[in-house]
Amino acid sequence: MSESADNARGAQQRVWFVTGSSRGLGRALITAVLDAGDIVVATARRPEALAEELKEYGDRVLVLPLDVTSAEAARTAVDAAVDRFGRLDVVVNNAGYANVSPVETAEDEDFRAQFETNFWGVYHVTKAALPVLRRQGSGTVVQISSVGGRVGGSPGIASYQAAKFAVDGFTRSLAAETAPLGVRFMVVEPSGFATDWAGSSMTVHPVPDAYDATVGAMNRRVRQGTAGSAGDPERAAEIIVRTVRRGEMPSHLLLGVNAVTLALDYSRRQLEEAEAWEAVSRSADFAEPYPVELPPLTGQ
């Protein structure tokens, strides 16, 4: 179905449920949704200021408190949204944050707390919404991840990136489980955007000298640099809304030049490595020839 056809069909307002709505991409997203004429259930840990900001949209907005780390709170918020609007059409798991520390010196409690929000928060909200979407026979779940959740390897934010990898695996399984039920899933993978993600939302823990060349260098170049991020959160939000509102959407949506560059480079390197080791990998099965030569060392 084309975008124009879907928009024509979709004169009916969609009900969006968005976590982490108070700032950054979440804040831009609820504005884009409202500007598109849809309805928003905007959730945040501290919703008071957000409710005041959105008063102009009247009955098209419901602002709710939500700590995504609580399964009970997620169910309560979803129930309140359905009680108010009768349905959910789009669920966006946007709440998340990252703190910086090498794994060796990271505090276990901090590492786990990040995972509680960045993965378990997605789990709780998605699970709370699934019965609603299943009964409806329709609905879209958008998981806001990161290009780091595809390519990994960013020093200092292992908990954040591990959680994003987990979200991707979780979502792929869910998409397979719910395929006959009319539920769609899309993982959004941005690169750096001009939000507060690397600002006051991020705690940078002390970096030992042994990790200055990796974690320290990344902090200076990217997280504490003065150039600013290339991505425009308002454009990103509009792209997400336009993509969801059409009849077809990708399973994974990269956003930003760096996201595209990193993902394409990673995929090419993955393919090259798999092809180089193909004979060795196949030889692990009983029916395959064994042993086989390992690939030549690089440069020989």
Which amino acid is it at 180? P
Residue 173 annotated among the catalytic residues of the structure: no
Structure tokens at 198: 């690397």
**DSSP-assigned letters across all residues of the chain:** --HHHHHHHTTSPPEEEESS-SSHHHHHHHHHHHHTT-EEEEEESS-HHHHHHTGGGGGGEEEEE--TT-HHHHHHHHHHHHHHHS--SEEEE------B--GGG--HHHHHHHHIIIIIHHHHHHHHHHHHHHHHT-EEEEEE--THHHH---TT-HHHHHHHHHHHHHHHHHHHHHGGGTEEEEEEEE--BSSSTTTTT--B----GGGIIIIIHHIIIIIT-SS--SB-HHHHHHHHHHHHTSS---SEEEESHHHHHHHHHHHHHHHHHHHHTHHHHHTTSTTS--S-PPPPPTT-
Q: How far apart are CA 125 and CA 138, in angstroms?
A: 17
Residue 127 annotated among the catalytic residues of the structure: no
Catalytic residue among 21, 164, 191, 229: 164
Catalytic residue among 21, 160, 191, 211: 160
Residue 154 annotated among the catalytic residues of the structure: no
Closest CA to 113 of 161, 69, 52: 69
Catalytic residue among 22, 145, 146, 159: 145
Q: How far apart are CA 298 and CA 300, in angstroms?
A: 6
Kindly list the catalytic residues: 145, 160, 164
